[in-house]
Amino acid sequence: MNNEEVKTTNFIHDIIDADLSSGKRTEVVTRFPPEPNGYLHIGHAKAIYLDFGTAEKYNGRCHLRFDDTNPEAEDIEYVNAIQEDIKWLGYDWGEHLYWASDYFDTMYDYAVRLIKKGKAYVCELTKEEFKDHRGIPTEPGKEPPGRTRSMEENLDLFERMKNGEFEDGTYTLRARIDMTSPNLHMRDPAIYRIKKAHHHNTGDKWCIYPMYDFAHCIEDSIEGVTHSMCTMEFEVHRPLYDWILEELEVFQSHQYEFSKLNLTYIVLSKRRLLQLVNEGRVSGWDDPRMPTLCGMRRRGFTPEAIKKLCSVVGCTKFEGITEIELFESIVRDDLNENSLRAMAVVDPIKVIIENYPEDQVDEFEIPNHPQKEELGTRQVPFSRELWIERDDYMDDAPNKFKGFTIGREVRLRGAYLATCNEVIKDADGKVLELRCSYDPETKGGSAPDGRKVRSTIHWVSAKHAVDAEVRLYDRLYTVENPLGDKEKDFKDFLNPESLEVITAKLEPMLATVEPGTRFQFERVGYFCADKDHSSEQPIFNRTLTLRAPRKL
């Protein structure tokens, strides 16, 4: 899992190649333009990967630009979180951190320039009135009265809008394009509106703010962005993007659209994510079940796996839905390669090794990774009483079963071979403990006489075990596409078993690790020490189970 993603190509890179070889462009400048009104999720990761990754591939640069043109919706609290998430993914914007609000003065001047060209006018229509004038897709619109206003009067009105002489909603500045255009976005779109709102960067300097369509292309142009990538829903806005830059006669940035990421069992709309948080369906934005980058980080997913996914799904204009299994496979591949092994028992039953001395303790040196000797070993204590998984005992087990059954010899991973002699159950038949005997000649887990055991199970010494809160996470929804049923709300498909909290028995080393450290608990799954994990209060989150084992 390295930098191979930079080698990928796609239709936008084909265009860049052509632009570079034709001389249309001599460098590649991209930008990632989040609005600071929420947390970044894996859909944004695709955009970040494309924006930063493309700049990287062409030795260009990628700007981080906060698109803060709507003070009512935005909040500075998101700014740091967004930067942290981008850095976590491994990208660096260097000194190229910008704000749309940096350009408010220029945007105002540009608006005045349009008015002077007769390409913009002040419109006194209310929202509803304009809606009526705009018409519907199949019928042309009607010209608003302000369209014929003189340039001088427009200039005066616009300045008075800026000076705060009018209330919110009374006037807008509109581009004067074509009320009959088949593209609704070209029917005299609003480019400035009055909003007497405090802005986190510009304070109370402005009471008019530019609309996205006007602001975004100008931001791109000012920064010299050559290839401005966004998702498909902006495709119909592109004629307006081009129109504004052409009328302004400024640097012509170009917009390219790709389809956004969709994954089965995942919902990515900001509004719905907010609902989950507000209604307490999850513990917060960084709940490990959330598809937010902070949630996925807490869950134990790696930035490398997220980027690899973005690389593998590619970049096209086709809006499909990628199976989550692809991502899970990439995650397991990464975690299998890079996480250390440990032993933990999540559903414990007691094993007593009857012929093992009461006070004896063995320290076994067990490899941290079966295929990577260089990752070293660790000491794991063994004693007379152990915890093993409830699943690792079965009455009258078939041959294929890997675990104890009466009379069968099993390998205790890295320790000894042991045979189960007796099972003790309660009145309901629930297994309470196993009575076993071990072979002292099999230290380390192999028999001097060469006899084979088909089963190896994990264990934790009861005397040394550390109790930990372990959070077993599963898919947040029960269906592939929770938004697919028009009759039902997506929350109707919430998986009631998406979180199960248990107390597990850990090998002692695990209590001492730093929050965020990832492990494979052998034969159980991949786990990550939670951000609140400590040696006094160990907490682990399950990232994923191991690949589903074959059925018996």
Residues 119-138 that bind RNA (CB under 7 A): 125-127, 130-131, 134, 136-138
Nearest approach, Cβ of residue 146 and RNA (Å): 11
Tokens of 57: 């591939």
Of 40-48, 153-161, 298-306, 408-416, the window that binds RNA (rule: CB under 7 A) is 408-416
Number of neighbours of residue 406 by Cβ within 10 angstroms = 15
CB of 124 to RNA, least distance (A): 8
Interaction residues for RNA, span 204-243 (CB under 7 A): 209, 211-213, 215-216, 232-237
Residue 395 touches RNA, criterion: CB under 7 A: no
Q: Number of C-alpha atoms within 13 angstroms, CB side, residue 340?
A: 17
Neighbouring C-alpha atoms within 13 Å toward the C-beta of 474: 11
> The tokens 């005397």 sit on which residue?
463
Between 237 and 384, CB nearer to RNA: 237
Task: Find the shortest distance in angstroms from Cβ 385 to RNA.
Answer: 20
- With binding defined as CB under 7 A, does residue 92 bind RNA? no
d(CA 116, CA 150): 10
Q: Which residues pair with 292 in a beta bridge?
A: 41
Nearest to 220 by CA among 248, 259, 192, 197: 248
CA distance 2 to 99: 32
Q: Shortest CA distance to 276 belongs to which of 34, 495, 471, 479? A: 495
From candidates 4, 6, 11, 376, binder to RNA by CB under 7 A: 11
- C-alpha closest to that of 397 among 434, 438, 451: 434
Q: Considering only 109-117, 291-299, 497-505, 520-528, which stretch makes contact with RNA by CB under 7 A? A: 520-528
Is the Cα torsion angle 159, 165, 166, 168 positive or negative in sign? positive
Tell which one of 25, 61, 176, 193 touches RNA (CB under 7 A): 193
Q: How far is the CB of 549 from RNA (least distance, A)?
A: 2
Crossing angle of helices 77-88 and 42-57, in 10° steps, is 60
- Residues 359-378, mask of contacts with RNA (x by CB under 7 A): ----------xxx-------
String of contacts with RNA for each residue 435-454, x by CB under 7 A: ---------xxx--------
With CB under 7 A as the contact rule, which of the stretches 64-72, 80-88, 106-114, 528-536 interacts with RNA?
64-72
What type of residue sits at position 459?
A: W
Minimum distance, C-beta of residue 96 to RNA, in the bound complex (Å):
18
Q: In whole angstroms, how far apart are CA 437 and each of 390, 396, 401?
A: 18, 19, 20
Q: At its nearest, how many Å lie between RNA and the CB of residue 402?
A: 4
DSSP state, residue 6 = G
Subset of 461-500 contacting RNA (CB under 7 A): none
Interacting residue with RNA among 30, 255, 383, 455 (CB under 7 A): 455
Nearer CB in complex with RNA: 50/276: 50
Give Dmax (Cα) for the chain: 103
Tell which positions 275-334 bind RNA, by CB under 7 A: 312-323, 325-326, 328-329, 332-333
Q: Does 24 bind RNA (CB under 7 A)?
A: no
| Residue 430 or 486 having the CB closest to RNA | 486
Minimum distance between the CB of residue 231 and RNA, rounded to whole angstroms? 8
By CB under 7 A, how many residues form the interface with RNA?
Answer: 91
Strands 385-389 and 460-461: antiparallel
Q: Are strands 539-545 and 377-382 parallel, antiparallel or unpaired?
A: unpaired
Q: Given the complex with RNA, which of 176 and 287 has the nearer CB atom?
A: 176
Exposure of 500 in the CB half-sphere (CA atoms within 13 A): 10
CB of 35 to RNA, least distance (A): 4
CB of 534 to RNA, least distance (A): 26
